[in-house]
Amino acid sequence: MKYSALFEPIKIGKTVVKNRIFMPPVSTNLCEKNHYISPALIEHYASRARGGVGLIITEVTTIEPVYTYLPGDISICDDSYIAGWKNLTDAVHQYGAKILPQLFHPSYMAFPLPGTPQLVAPSHVGPYYAKSAPRPLTIEEIKELVIKFGEAAKRAQIAGCDGVEVHAAHAHGLLGGFLTPLYNKRTDEYGGDIHGRMRFLLEVIAQIRKVCGEDFIIDVRISGDEYSDGGLNINDMIYVCKCLEKSGVDFIHCSGGNTIKRGSSMPAPGTKQGSHCLLSEELKKHIHIPVATVGRINEAWIANELIENGKTDICMMGRANLCDSDFALKAAYGKEDEIRPCIGCGQCLTGVMFGKPVGCTVNPSVETNIIPRAEEKKKVLIIGGGPAGLEAAYVCWKRGHEVILCEKENELGGLLRLAAVPIGKQDLSKVIKFLITRLKNTNVDIRLNTLVTEEMLENEFKEYVVLGTTGAKPRIIDAFTSFKSNMTADDILAGRKVPGKNIVIIGGGSVGCETADYLAPLVNDLFPANRQVTILEMTNALMTGEGGAAKSVLTRRLMKKGVRIEFNAKVERVDEQTIYYSQNGKEEKITDADTLVFATGYISTPIQNNRIIQIGDCAKAGNLKDAIGSAYEVSMQL
């Protein structure tokens, strides 16, 4: 095996795990009604076990029925759930992997389903976005919940699970809330100093050990540092982990940050891999049980390095295994070029927050890598070599069709090549490389510098099913092209045009913000050569429709760089020298700009022919997930 450290077995308590690739909790929304294990959920986890993962920690598993974390999460709150868990455990065990449910009480993070009673918490303090204050748990209720955690663990053991994870990280949920001084303001035996704040957690560990015995794995997920003023820090957590080791915990799952400081716990794309490894490295110096690290570990080489270099004993790789369920096996046998690359975009969880099943930008079929053969072999022509075309070509070939792909340019990748240019977007180049490499390992006929004409469709490709994936083009507002120097964001990212020093960008969507970030000085130090960048956004927010860590980190970077951002600013007219815009009922103008940049969206470019099935951006301008997903879905129907 290529990565010897990563694939070395490790002993957890009294259990040997076959390798050090563990899958941490990733919510899926795949359960059945009332939070029961579903066949889809079993297949989801079984496919990762089949793909070589050593140990799986499931998504949030609630231990009592009153409070729901997400509508699609799973539960183990009474004995009726045991049968489903048994089916899941058996499915994972048949491939030699171990499985632990993550036991959790959502507390002040509970989903506000109709009929939900007032949320509970360590204190009356809730997260800043809460619509009402939670109520503090009574001591009697704490004692009852300790018992419920133990009962939930026992059910997991009866179902055949190898252990449980107790979630106490990220100032998140009940136990994480009790542990952090951000939310625990109690003055009784469950609050005050660190001993009071971790008492609830230690009682839960003791109860689980009491009812499940010594052969049952218990791990605790913690934030080694909450990276927040007033929150837990590494000194606190060294002491907490020493106490957890003494209490009988078998390993520590070391994360970092918290859920209210966006980008701290789940790092944004473009940030470093192994984002919390300095915390796990420090913890390893002070305790004797294994320590796992987590956070944007997307490639085998970095996981192996983290272990070899003493940063961690175990690598938790969630999004990487979500993106490619065969990640571990491919890595073990040195087939990195075949691994579908995770870009860390967070789209897997964006949909989950709105009740949709888990998805992936790069992998339109998260549940399985199996592409069935078509009943009838067809001839398929694909026009366009962007991400949609590359995905369609591969899926059609995999289904047994004869495939020709024609691209009018001299290289494949389409607009995705430009999308990889801005700061923090380098991982998109891995997607292009993967899609191209995968396709070149087939017998698909790839024709570059080939513009498909009507004559070719009527003659050479008369008998072909034709898929159009010709993408989209930037929207240009013709009335504003009278400005002395104007260009699109794509012109800049492609290197076709170079803007001046004082730049105005129309549009504060993702493209506008990423282009501003690309053009702004790396250091806002008032150096004379620095560009001055202004974004004019007609709504009251940047990147509407986007969310999560990527948006947060990019917004903060723009502000740090001194990019001027004007909201509710609608450009009304321009002349050769001046840009006029309305804002809050007043006319404003910019007289010192030397470049006007259009970042005002994209227009689909469908080929006008009724034979052609339009997919990707040429059907409807969207994001990368839309392009690859539509290509997959259409190709699976041929």
Q: What is the phi/psi pair of residue 379, to 5°?
A: -95, 125
Q: Provide the pLDDT for residue 246.
A: 98
Residue 173's Cα: distance from chain center in Å? 20
Is residue 66's pLDDT more than 80? Answer: yes
Mean pLDDT of 604-631: 91
DSSP string, 1-29: ---TTTTS-EEETTEEES-SEEEPP----
Q: Provide the pLDDT for residue 369.
A: 73
Nearest one of 69, 628, 46, 538 to 345, comparing CA atoms: 628
pLDDT above 90 as % of the chain:
87
In the numeric block, the tokens 């570990």 are attached to 297
Q: Provide the pLDDT for residue 188.
A: 97
Helices 139-158 and 82-93: crossing angle in degrees, nearest 10, is: 50
Is residue 370's pLDDT more than 90? Answer: no
pLDDT band at 260 (very low <50, low <70, confident <90, very high): confident
**Dist CA 473 CA 617 (whole Å):** 9
Q: Provide the pLDDT for residue 470.
A: 92
Nearest one of 64, 83, 74 to 31, comparing CA atoms: 74
Q: Identify which has the larger pLDDT, 347 or 211.
A: 211
Nearest one of 413, 471, 474 to 606, comparing CA atoms: 471
Angle at 199 between CA 194 and CA 203, to 5 degrees: 155
Q: Provide the pLDDT for residue 47.
A: 96
The radius of gyration of the chain from alpha carbons, rounded to an integer in Å, stands at: 27
Q: Provide the pLDDT for residue 2.
A: 86
The chain-wide mean pLDDT, for the chain, equals: 95
Q: Provide the pLDDT for residue 608.
A: 84
Assess contact for 597 and 566: CB atoms under 8 A. Answer: no
Mean pLDDT of 364-382: 90
Q: What is the phi/psi pair of residue 156, to 5°?
A: -60, -40
The pLDDT tens digits of the residues spanning 209-228 come to 999 999 999 999 999 999 99
Size of the chain in residues: 638
Assess contact for 607 and 468: CB atoms under 8 A. Answer: yes
The pLDDT tens digits of the residues spanning 543-595 come to 987 877 889 999 999 999 999 999 999 999 999 999 999 999 999 999 999 99
Give the predicted TM-score (pTM) of the model.
0.94
Is residue 60's pLDDT more than 80? Answer: yes
Q: Provide the pLDDT for residue 348.
A: 84
Q: Provide the pLDDT for residue 468.
A: 96
**Dist CA 130 CA 244 (whole Å):** 31
Q: What is the dihedral of CA 227, 228, 232, 236, to 10 degrees?
A: 60
Mean pLDDT lowest for which of 42-56, 114-128, 161-175? 114-128
Q: Provide the pLDDT for residue 42.
A: 96
Assess contact for 82 and 155: CB atoms under 8 A. Answer: yes
In the numeric block, the tokens 């007043």 are attached to 586
**Dist CA 194 CA 168 (whole Å):** 14
Mean pLDDT of 193-207: 98
Is residue 44's pLDDT more than 90? Answer: yes
Mean pLDDT of 130-144: 93
pLDDT band at 263 (very low <50, low <70, confident <90, very high): confident
Is residue 340's pLDDT more than 90? Answer: yes
Assess contact for 416 and 432: CB atoms under 8 A. Answer: yes
Q: What is the phi/psi pair of residue 594, to 5°?
A: -115, -10
Assess contact for 468 and 614: CB atoms under 8 A. Answer: yes
Assess contact for 595 and 485: CB atoms under 8 A. Answer: yes
Mean pLDDT of 478-485: 96
Q: Provide the pLDDT for residue 349.
A: 80
pLDDT band at 396 (very low <50, low <70, confident <90, very high): very high
**Dist CA 53 CA 19 (whole Å):** 7
The amino acid at 372: P
3-state SS assignment for residue 322 = helix
Q: What is the phi/psi pair of residue 339, to 5°?
A: -80, 125
pLDDT band at 112 (very low <50, low <70, confident <90, very high): confident
Assess contact for 254 and 222: CB atoms under 8 A. Answer: yes
DSSP string, 364-428: S-SS----PPPSS--EEEEE--SHHHHHHHHHHHHTT-EEEEE-SSSSS-TTHHHHTSSTT-THH
Residue 101's Cα: distance from chain center in Å? 21
Q: Provide the pLDDT for residue 605.
A: 87
| Close Cβ partners of 140 (under 8 Å, ≥ 6 residues apart) | none
Assess contact for 619 and 630: CB atoms under 8 A. Answer: yes
Q: Provide the pLDDT for residue 270.
A: 86
Assess contact for 242 and 271: CB atoms under 8 A. Answer: no
